[in-house]
Amino acid sequence: MKALATDKRAMVFGAFGQLGVEIARVLQERGFETRLHDKADVDISDTRKVDQTISEFDPSMVFNCAAYNQVDVSESEPLQAIIANGLGVRNLAISCRQNDALLVHFSTDYVFDGTANRPYTEEDTPHPLGAYAVSKYAGELYAKAYLDRVLIVRTSGVFGPAGVKTNRGNFIELMLRLEHGKQNIRVIEDHVASPTYSPLLAEKSIELAVRGEIGVFHIGGGTPISWYDYARLIFEVAGLQPSITATTSREYRTAARRPRYSALANVRMEALGIEPMPPLRIAVEHYLEHRKNYLL
């Protein structure tokens, strides 16, 4: 029988990134007492600090939005990736087990190798290609190894208005910066993902948690699209006409291997009757409208 959320206390790690701020917002709108932590406050790789922090607040839910997500740098710094994305999740899982809290952990489409050439469902077997992807899959395995009650949400290409002010931003902010520089923009067209709007990702993830759902769920943007077509969509919605050229992964080499087709199918979520993600154009329109609040 599912354990519905009744004790409305929640803790968010990685609370000030473009997903964390939306998780915090939705929790507060739903009447949760929330405690927010970032790496400077609580590094999830610190076993003792994690346990102390969770035990003192005794939340019913713990949301892990913290991650080391520098995909290419991970190839030269694999230890940092596995500590943050693997062992850090282990620390959270052990503490959640001791405190009987539901862990909601966010993972990635990069756990797949992209060879299926169709959107991946929750039933597909992961096959990570590089250090970052392996570290994220390790986090999933650690969470499931230590917990019977864990909600793992895989997502893809997250973008949210808070990305305006975060260090690494997101793809939309990168495109807008490049357009502002008035240079020719080259974007890969042979890699496909399902970019995901973080306010909607937060709402649907919390809905699953409140319902007491557990296991692996995909919450991708709902629109499989190449990064080149995504860039064109961004400029079209923004009313911009930069010089943009399609390129390929053969022409644009990176340190890390990336899945060529990593779009996600939200099969389990939609089977529960939760409203599907809107078309990507609508999400981009909403993003461009709401990012103005972060530029003030």
> How does pLDDT run across 157-201, given as a tens digit for each residue?
999 999 888 777 899 999 999 998 877 899 999 999 999 999 999
Q: What is the pLDDT of residue 293?
A: 78
The pLDDT confidence band at residue 253, using thresholds 50, 70 and 90, is: confident
Choose between 182 and 291: higher pLDDT: 291
- Alpha-carbon span 176 to 220, nearest angstrom: 23
- Alpha-carbon span 88 to 166, nearest angstrom: 21
What is the mean predicted confidence (pLDDT) over 43-50? 96
| CA 142 to centroid of chain Cα atoms | 18
pLDDT more than 70, % of the chain? 97
The residues, ordered by sequence, that sit 6+ positions from 235 with a Cβ below 8 Å of its Cβ are 175, 179, 241, 242, 244
Which candidate in 68, 132, 146, 261 is catalytic?
Answer: 132
Domains of the chain, with CATH numbers? 9-163+196-222+264-278 (3.40.50.720)
- Alpha-carbon span 109 to 186, nearest angstrom: 23
**Tell me: the pLDDT tens digits for 222-247?**
899 999 999 999 999 999 999 999 99
User: Nearest 5°: phi and psi at 123?
Assistant: -85, -10
- The pLDDT of residue 252 is above 80: no
Alpha-helical runs (H) found in the chain: 20-29, 47-57, 78-82, 88-99, 131-146, 171-180, 198-211, 227-238, 267-271, 280-290, 292-295
Instruction: From 110, 120, 68, select the one nearest 89 (Cα to Cα).
Output: 68
**Tell me: the pLDDT tens digits for 107-158?**
999 999 999 999 999 999 999 999 999 999 999 999 999 999 999 999 999 9
Residue 132 falls in the annotated catalytic set: yes
- The pLDDT of residue 15 is above 90: yes
**Tell me: the pLDDT tens digits for 51-90?**
999 999 999 999 999 999 999 999 999 999 999 999 999 9
3-state secondary structure of 80: helix
The pLDDT confidence band at residue 295, using thresholds 50, 70 and 90, is: low
- The pLDDT of residue 95 is above 90: yes
What is the mean predicted confidence (pLDDT) over 17-46? 96
pTM of the model: 0.94
What DSSP string describes 141-203?
HHHHHH-SSEEEEEE-SEE-GGGGTSSS--HHHHHHHHHHTT--EEEESS-EE--EEHHHHHH
- The pLDDT of residue 2 is above 80: no
What is the mean predicted confidence (pLDDT) over 28-47? 96
